[in-house]
Structure 1
Amino acid sequence: MFKSNDILRKQTALKFSKSLNKCDGDFFLRAYMGERKMLILVGITILFVVHVSGVYWCYKNGDLIRPLVMLPPKEIPPFWHAIFVILVNDTMVRQTAMIMKCLLLMYYRNTKGCSYRRQGQMLTLVEYFLLLYRALLPAPVWYRFFLNKEYGSLFSSLTTGLYLTFKLTSVVEKIQSFFTSLRALSHEDFHYGSYATSEQVAAAGDMCAICQEKMHVPILLRCKHVFCEDCVSEWFERERTCPLCRALVKPADLRSFGDGSTSLFFQLF
Structure 2
Amino acid sequence: MDTDNPFEYDSENDGFYETSLIERYDLQQVAKWAEHMLPFLLLLLAVFLREHFQGVFIMIFTSVVMFKSNGIVKKQTALKEDRRASVLAGFSSASMLYVLCIYWLYRNDDLAYPLVMFPLKETPSFWHAIFTILVNDALVRQAAMALKCMLLISFKNCRRYNFLWQGKMLTLVEHTLLLYRALLPISVWNTFFMNKDYGALFSSVMVGLYLTFKLSYALEKVRCFFYALKSLSESESLDGIYSTTNQVNDAGDICAICHDRMYAPTQLLCKHMFCEDCVCQWFERRTTCPLCRAVVSTPHLKTFSSGSTSLFYQFC
What TM-score comes out, normalization by structure 2 length?
0.69
For the residues of structure 2 that align with 1:14 and 1:178, how far apart are their CA atoms? 27
For 2:300, the equivalent position in structure 1 comes to: 253
For 1:170, the equivalent position in structure 2 comes to: 217
For 1:14, the equivalent position in structure 2 comes to: 79
For 2:4, the equivalent position in structure 1 comes to: none
Q: Check conservation: 1:138, 1:268, Cα contact below 8 A.
A: yes
Q: Check conservation: 2:255, 2:261, Cα contact below 8 A.
A: no
- Are 1:263 and 2:310 matched, yes or no? yes
Q: Check conservation: 2:280, 2:306, Cα contact below 8 A.
A: no
- Are 1:67 and 2:91 matched, yes or no? no
* 1:230-249 to 2 correspondences below 5 Å: 231-239=275-283
Moved more, 208-217 or 88-97: 208-217
Q: Check conservation: 1:63, 1:73, Cα contact below 8 A.
A: yes
User: Residues 12, 149 of structure 1: CA spacing in aligned structure 2 closer, same or farther, 3 A cutoff?
Assistant: same
For the residues of structure 2 that align with 1:140 and 1:250, how far apart are their CA atoms? 36
For the residues of structure 1 that align with 2:289 and 2:266, how far apart are their CA atoms? 12
User: Residues 91, 43 of structure 1: CA spacing in aligned structure 2 closer, same or farther, 3 A cutoff?
Assistant: same
- Are 1:95 and 2:142 matched, yes or no? yes
Q: Check conservation: 1:196, 1:226, Cα contact below 8 A.
A: no
Q: Which runs of 5+ in 2 are unaligned?
A: 1-65
For the residues of structure 2 that align with 1:233 and 1:90, how far apart are their CA atoms? 28
For 1:208, the equivalent position in structure 2 comes to: 254
For the residues of structure 2 that align with 1:104 and 1:149, how far apart are their CA atoms? 47
User: Residues 66, 123 of structure 1: CA spacing in aligned structure 2 closer, same or farther, 3 A cutoff?
Assistant: same
* 1:46-195 to 2 correspondences below 5 Å: 46-110=93-157, 113-190=160-237, 192-195=240-243
Q: Check conservation: 2:263, 2:276, Cα contact below 8 A.
A: no
For the residues of structure 1 that align with 2:264 and 2:209, how far apart are their CA atoms? 54
For the residues of structure 2 that align with 1:209 and 1:56, how far apart are their CA atoms? 46
For 1:133, what is the secondary structure of its paired residue?
A: helix
For the residues of structure 2 that align with 1:216 and 1:83, how far apart are their CA atoms? 45
- Are 1:4 and 2:69 matched, yes or no? yes
- Aligned residue pairs total 246
Q: Deviations over 1:164-223 (max 9, x none)?
A: 11111111111111111111122123452344255x555556x43547777777656655
For the residues of structure 1 that align with 2:263 and 2:315, how far apart are their CA atoms? 47
Query: What is the CA RMSD across the aligned residues, in angstroms?
Result: 2.7
Moved more, 116-125 or 242-251: 242-251
> How much does 1:58 deviate?
2.5
For 1:75, what is the secondary structure of its paired residue?
A: coil
For the residues of structure 1 that align with 2:233 and 2:112, how far apart are their CA atoms? 33
User: Residues 160, 111 of structure 1: CA spacing in aligned structure 2 closer, same or farther, 3 A cutoff?
Assistant: same
For the residues of structure 1 that align with 2:236 and 2:263, how far apart are their CA atoms? 18
Percent sequence identity over matched residues? Answer: 51
Q: Which runs of 5+ in 1 are unaligned?
A: 17-34
Q: Check conservation: 1:15, 1:111, Cα contact below 8 A.
A: no
For 2:139, what is the secondary structure of its paired residue?
A: helix
